[in-house]
Amino acid sequence: MAVITVDCRGETCPVPLVETRKALRKAAPGDIIEVIGTHPSSKKEIPLAVQALNLTILEIREEGDVWTIRIQR
């Protein structure tokens, strides 16, 4: 089991969503994907994608403008 970090700080639509999906495709079941970003809508939309993919959000954290979403593959 690995933790894979996807740094999308400064990126805008649709890059954070796309990079999250690409990382999830490459990850093995059980891996954790940690997405870090600043694009406000992506913070809401990545969990929608995770739900549509039947995967699990472990945590959503926010520090200032930076959010971190942890996903269980």
Partner 1 sequence: MADKQEGRPQKATIILHSGDMDKVYSALIIGNGALAMGMDVAIYFTFWGLQRLKKGALEKGPLSKMHFLGLGKWMVKQRMKKANVASLERLMRDFKEMGGRVLACDMTMEIMGIRREDLHTEWIDDYCAVGTYIAEARDSDITLFI
Binding site for partner 1 (CB under 8 A): 10-15, 17-18, 20-22, 25, 48-49, 52-54
Considering the complex, state which of residue 20 and residue 69 has its C-beta at the smaller distance from partner 1: 20
From the candidates 1, 2, 3, 13, give the one annotated as an active-site residue.
Answer: 13
Catalytic residue list contains 8? no
CB-CB neighbours of 52 under 10 Å: 8
CB of 61 to partner 1, least distance (A): 21
Helix axes 40-52, 15-26, angle to 10 degrees: 40
Backbone angles phi, psi at 7, to 5 degrees: -100, 110
Active site residues: 13
